[in-house]
Amino acid sequence: MRLMLYIICATVFIVCSSWADDMLLPTALAGNGDIVYIANENGKSVFVYDLGTRIVSARVSLPSAPTGLALSGQTLYVTGGLPSGVLYTIDTASMKITATTALPSGACAPRVVGTTLVVCNRYAGSLSFIDIATGKERKRISVGREPVATAVSGGVLYVAQHLPDMPANAASVHSVITTVDIERGVVTGTIALPNGSTALRDITAAPDGSIIAVHNVARFDLPTTQIERGWMNTAALTVLKPGAANTYATVMLDDPESGAANPYAVALSPSGKTIFVAHAGTHEVSIIDRGRMTAKLEAMNRTALSYDLTFMRGIRQRIALGVNGPRSILVTKRGVITAGYFSDALALIGNINSTPSVNILPLRDTVTLTDSRRGEMYFNDAKLCLQNWQSCSSCHPDGRVDALNWDLMNDGMGNPKNARSLLNSFRRSPVMSHGIRASADVAVRSGIRFILFTVQPEPVAEAMDAYLKAMESDPSPYLVNGKLSAKALRGKTLFESPGVGCTACHTGPLFTDLKLHDVGTMGPYDSEGTFVTPTFIELWRTAPYFHDGRYSTVKEVITVGNKEGKRGKTAQLTPAEIDDLVEYLLSL
C-alpha cells in the first residue's frame, strides 16, 4: 500500500514538474480580525483568507507582482516593486483597485504612520511619504542602499537597510538602520549593526519603544574550512533602545548544533511580551519570551557582539512549521500566521502560551513545482546544509550578493573574494573571479559539497542549475520609463568610443569577453593578478566592486581605480563625462 502511494506520488510529481509555473509564492500578510490578506508574488494577486471558514473568500489580480501590504480601515495598500514601483489602493469591501500610483523602483513594505503611508523604495534607495487623504506622494527622501522595512517609535522611523554599503575590505562591513524624523521627513542618523551583519530583512517596534531587527551575522573574516558552531553564517536578533545612537545588543538565534538560518520576518504579540521570528531557511518560527530575554540582556556584557550560541536556551521555542520558506509573520487572535513561500499554504500556530501546535491551511489544492522553482526552493533551503547553518541564499540573497568578501577554499586560503551575483552565471563560463570553475554547474556542485558541507542527490544540483538558468535580470532603477536617460545615452557613446576603449574587454550582450586579464587590480592578499572580465548586467545592485569589493561606487572604479589607465582611458574625461559614463553603467 505504502509503495503504491509512493509510486503514484512520484508519478504525479514527475508529470507536474513539467507543467508551467503557476505557484502563488505568498510573500506578505496583513490582517483584520479573522480576515487575512495575502500578497502572492508569482500569482500577481491578493487573496482574502477567512480564518473562521478557512477558505479563500475573495481574490484580486494585480498588473504586477505585489511586495507588501498595509491596512488602514477599509483600505488595503499593496506595493509592487518591478518592473517599476507602484502602489495599488484597494477597497476591501469590493476588493477592487481604486487607485494606482507610480512610485520609484522596488517599492515595498508600506506602513501607515498617522495620516501618511510610508513606502520603502528598495532599489531606488528612497522612502516615499504618501498623503492618505489625497493619495499623492508628498515627499521623497534618499536613505541609501536597499531599504526593506520600517518601524515607528517615539516619532522616529527606523529604516532597515538590507545590504552593507561600504567597501567589503572596510574595518567593519555591516547593514545599517537609518533613523528618520517623521514630522520633518529628514534623515537624522544611521545606526551600524555589528561587523558582518547583512541580509537585514525586518524590523519592528515594541510597545515600550524598543526596536527589534533580524538579520544574518557572517563571520566572513574566517576561512570557510568548516561550518560548525556558527563558523560561517549565523542568524541574529538586534535590539535598539529608543533614541540611542548605537545598538543595545545583538544576540544569536541559532543553537550550538543547529542553525536558525535566514531570519526573514519579526513580529511581537500586542502586549510586547513575545517575539516571533520566521526563519525562511529552516522553515521554523521562534517564539521568544521577551521578558526573560530582556532580563538576560541586562545581566550580560553587551559591549561586544555576543556569539553565544546558547543565548536562546530556556527563553525560546523553535516551532517546525511543515511549510517551506516562511517570509512573513502576522499575529492574530487565533494565533500566529506565516505563509510558506514555496508551499502556497499558511501555517497557523495556536496555543502560543502553552504547547504550540501548527495547523497548515492550504491556499490551493495541489502544489506543482517546476524544475527551476524546485531549484529556487533548494537554493533557499538551509535544511540542505550540515546542521542548517546557511543556504546558498545566505551569501547570495535573491540569487545576487551579500556585499561581503568570503575566503572560499577553491582558489587557496587567505585571499577573500566578494560574493558574485549568479545572474547569467550559466552564460558566463568560466565562473569565479579567477575563473577557477570551468562553468556554473561545477560551481553549484562544489557549493553544495564545500560550502553547505553536504552530499545531495544529483537532481538537487540539476534543479539549482535550472533555477540559475531561469533567473532574469531586473530593470535598473536608473532607467526612465524603461529606457536609457539622456545622460546614460551620452555615457553609452563614451563607453563605445575607441578613445575610451572599454569594449576591448566589456563586450557582447553581457559586457564581458569572458577572458582573464591582468588589469593591475591585484590586492595585498591575492596570489595571482588575473581576473575574468565582469558582466555589467545589474551592476546597479552588485556593489561593492572588483574581486575584493574595494570600491563601493562605480565612479571610484573608473576614477581613482583607473589611474594607470590599464582598463580603458578615463583620465581625459571631464567630471560631467565621468558622471555620464557611470549613469550608463548603472542603467544596464
**Which spans of this chain sit near ligand HEC (rule: CB under 6 A)?**
224, 232, 390, 392, 394-396, 406, 408, 411, 417, 419-420, 422, 425, 428, 431-433, 440, 443-444, 447-448, 451-452, 464, 500-502, 504-506, 517, 519, 521, 531, 533-534, 539, 542, 545-547, 554, 557-558, 567-568, 570, 581, 585
Check if the beta carbon of residue 383 is closer than 8 Å to that of residue 283.
Answer: yes
Distance CA 475, CA 224 (A): 34
Q: How far is the CB of 193 from ligand HEC (least distance, A)?
A: 18
Per-residue buried b or exposed e for 183-222, using 16+ beta carbons within 10 Å of the residue's own CB: eebebeeebbbbbbbbbbbbbbbbeeebbbbbbbbbebee
Q: How far is the CB of 444 from ligand HEC (least distance, A)?
A: 4
Check if the beta carbon of residue 339 is closer than 8 Å to that of residue 323.
Answer: yes
Using CB atoms within 10 Å of the CB of residue 433, give its burial: 0 to 12 exposed, 13 to 18 middle, 19+ buried: buried
Amino acid at 332: T
C-beta of 363 vs 539, nearer to ligand HEC = 539
**Other CB atoms closer than 10 Å to residue 435's CB: what's the count?**
18
Q: How far is the CB of 548 from ligand HEC (least distance, A)?
A: 7
Cα distance between the two ends of the chain:
56
Amino acid at 18: S
Q: How far is the CB of 8 from ligand HEC (least distance, A)?
A: 31
C-beta of 344 vs 465, nearer to ligand HEC = 465
Distance CA 308, CA 423 (A): 36
Using CB atoms within 10 Å of the CB of residue 514, give its burial: 0 to 12 exposed, 13 to 18 middle, 19+ buried: middle
C-beta of 272 vs 529, nearer to ligand HEC = 529
Distance CA 421, CA 430 (A): 14
Q: How far is the CB of 570 from ligand HEC (least distance, A)?
A: 5
- Measured CA distances, 164 to 13, 151, 401, 558 (Å): 40, 19, 10, 21
Q: How far is the CB of 500 from ligand HEC (least distance, A)?
A: 5
Q: How far is the CB of 154 from ligand HEC (least distance, A)?
A: 37
C-beta of 191 vs 443, nearer to ligand HEC = 443
Q: How far is the CB of 90 from ligand HEC (least distance, A)?
A: 38
Using CB atoms within 10 Å of the CB of residue 454, give its burial: 0 to 12 exposed, 13 to 18 middle, 19+ buried: middle
C-beta of 344 vs 407, nearer to ligand HEC = 407
Q: How far is the CB of 408 from ligand HEC (least distance, A)?
A: 5
Q: How far is the CB of 231 from ligand HEC (least distance, A)?
A: 10
C-beta of 311 vs 467, nearer to ligand HEC = 467
Q: What angle do CA 377, 379, 385 make, to 5 degrees?
A: 110
Check if the beta carbon of residue 261 is closer than 8 Å to that of residue 382.
Answer: yes
Read off the C-alpha cell for 51. Answer: 480564518
C-beta of 42 vs 439, nearer to ligand HEC = 439
C-beta of 217 vs 557, nearer to ligand HEC = 557
C-beta of 110 vs 167, nearer to ligand HEC = 167
Check if the beta carbon of residue 265 is closer than 8 Å to that of residue 329.
Answer: yes
C-beta of 58 vs 519, nearer to ligand HEC = 519
